[in-house]
Structure 1
Amino acid sequence: MILVDIPGFQNLELAHLVCDYNGTLALDGELLPGVADLLASLAPTIKIHIITADTFGLAHVQLADLPIELIITPTESQAKTKLQFVTDLGAETVVAIGNGRNDRKMLKAAAIGIALIQREGGSAQSIANADLVCTNIVDALDLLRNPKRLIATLRS
């Protein structure tokens, strides 16, 4: 669990990391450099869930050796499915990371929603629903390894 008290924002007890796959952790189905090591380093601290429609069909292979839970969902109603997943975990204990329009609801519901703008781009609706925005997944995951960065960005 990651404990962080952000003045003027929230006192957080983050137990779950929920990530989109394509556009967030991967580009064209291939895991981005540095992501595997960061996920492995975070796993002892926070339970990691990857939720995806797996557009390229590579998520199982790319994530096979990592201590994560992979959830493959139907392509229909992705936003609703991801929101329900975060809600079922207990949204107040979730940090969610995504870039696509189908991530907008989970980003808004999570205790902390992090939108990404990487090579695939970032949905304007997801960016509007997020608490903060990063330009790459390595920086986003590093926020969880260095929670004082969250304080510096989110305090008011």
Structure 2
Amino acid sequence: MLDLNIPGRGQFNLHHLVLDFNGTIAFGGELISGVGERIQLLSREMEIHVITADTNGSVVRQCEGLPVTVQILKSENHTDEKGEFVRGLEGVLCMGNGANDESMFAESDLAIVIAGREGCATATLLKSDLVIEDINDGLDLLLNPKRLIATLRK
């Protein structure tokens, strides 16, 4: 568990990290360099979930050997399905970039939008607590939580 006491925002006991795949931890269906190593380190503190429509059909192969659970979306409404998934968890930080991440951001305790090479959807951006350009920088905030606290304090 990752415990954060953010002045002006309160105490956050984060048990789960929910990551979108394409556009967030992967580009063009391929895991972004450095992400796997950071996931290995973070898995000591949090349960990590990768949730995706799997546009490129590569998530299982790319996440093989990583300490994550992979959830491939099956419904017609990916936005609602992602929100329902997060609603079933307690103590959640989400990272994503797409329009279908909006609902999971609304349901999470903290949400970080990754505005990387694919950009980010405005609706999801507006539900986020923080905007980061690079996924590795976002994951590093969790590995060095004082940086995250400094950014989010009021």
What is the TM-score normalised by the length of structure 1? 0.96
2:97 maps to which of 99, 108, 113: 99
In the TM superposition, residue 10 of structure 1 has moved relative to its aligned partner by 2.1
Whether the 8 Å contact between 1:53 and 1:75 is mirrored in structure 2 is no
Deviations 1:55-86 (A, max 9, x none): 00000101001010001112621110111111
| Partner SS for 1:81 | helix
* Distance in 2 (alpha carbons) for counterparts of 1:52 and 1:155: 31
Which amino acid is 2:11 matched to? N
Amino acid at match of 2:121: S
**Which residue of structure 2 aligns with residue 82 of structure 1?**
82
> What is the correspondence of 1:2-151 to structure 2 with a 5 Å cutoff?
2-74=2-74, 76-90=76-90, 93-151=91-149
Q: Is the 8 A contact 2:75 2:81 kept in 1?
A: no
RMSD value, Cα = 0.8
Q: Is the 8 A contact 1:96 1:113 kept in 2?
A: yes
Deviations 1:14-40 (A, max 9, x none): 000001000000001000010010001
Cα drift, residue 108 of structure 1: 2.1
Sequence identity of aligned pairs in percent?
43
- Provide the C-alpha distance between the structure 2 equivalents of 1:10 and 1:47, rounded to a whole number of angstroms: 22
Aligned mates of 1:36, 1:150 — CA distance in 2: 20
Report runs of 4+ in structure 1 exceeding 4 Å deviation. Answer: none
Identify unmatched segments of 5+ residues in structure 1: none
Instruction: Find the aligned partners of 1:113 and 1:10 in 2 and give their Cα distance.
Output: 15
Give the gaps of 5 or more residues in structure 2: none
**What is the TM-score of this pair, normalised by structure 2?**
0.98
Q: Check conservation: 1:83, 1:106, Cα contact below 8 A.
A: yes
* Structure 2 CA distance for aligned equivalents of residues 126 and 94 of structure 1: 16
Equivalent residue, structure 1, for 2:150: 152
The one-letter amino acid paired with 1:149 is R
CA shift for structure 1 position 150? 1.4
